[in-house]
Amino acid sequence: MLNGELRTVYTKPSETLLFVLRDRLGLTGPKRVCENGDCGACTVLLSGKPVKACLILAVEVQGLSVQTVEGIEDQNLKKAFVEEGGFQCGFCTSGFITLTHSIFRDFPEILETCAGVQVTRGSPGLWLPTGKRGKRDRNKLYGHS
């Protein structure tokens, strides 16, 4: 199953899931960046668990469920990433959304736990807003104008 739809694809034993998703099936959500599992831009859900598609051989997913960012129906999550500046250039955003979706699904209490958490000037490693709004917020956060 791919994004809730039964799909059949013939692959070579050496082809990664990322290659098949992008080059054979035309899904552009998972990104090809490091190809060694470091960056997470290729994150997909395999039977509901986040995995890096560049590290999984396509033949290993036979009979399993694969979900890419294209198959995530949580439009509020996607909208929040845009409105809150939760992206940099946007290239890796699909991996972030996929991983965040699985975290919120598996640990719904995290939303309540983190609600209202304030990050102060002394904790720059905890929060780094990005984008135009993020830069403005970051400057305000760290006392710059």
pLDDT the model gives residue 65: 97
Q: What is the mean pLDDT of each run of 10 residues along the chain (145 residues)?
A: 95 97 96 91 96 97 96 87 74 87 86 58 43 48 42
pLDDT the model gives residue 115: 61
Q: Are strands 66-67 and 49-52 parallel, antiparallel or unpaired?
A: unpaired
pLDDT the model gives residue 117: 54
- Written as six digits, the tokens of 123 are 């904790």
- Separation in Å, CA 76 to CA 79, 80, 82, 105: 5, 6, 10, 13
pLDDT the model gives residue 114: 65
Identify which of 143, 2, 134, 140 has the alpha carbon closest to the alpha carbon of residue 68.
2
pLDDT the model gives residue 116: 57
pLDDT the model gives residue 47: 97
Q: Indicate the CATH number for domain 17-113.
A: 3.10.20.30
pLDDT the model gives residue 145: 46
Domain boundaries, given as residue ranges, for the chain? 17-113
44 close to 20: Cβ distance less than 8 angstroms = no
pLDDT the model gives residue 126: 40
Q: DSSP letter for 24, please.
A: I
Q: DSSP letter for 74, please.
A: -
pTM over 0.95? The answer is no
- Written as six digits, the tokens of 78 are 């996607």
Q: Measure the CA–CA gap between 114 and 104, rounded to whole angstroms.
A: 11
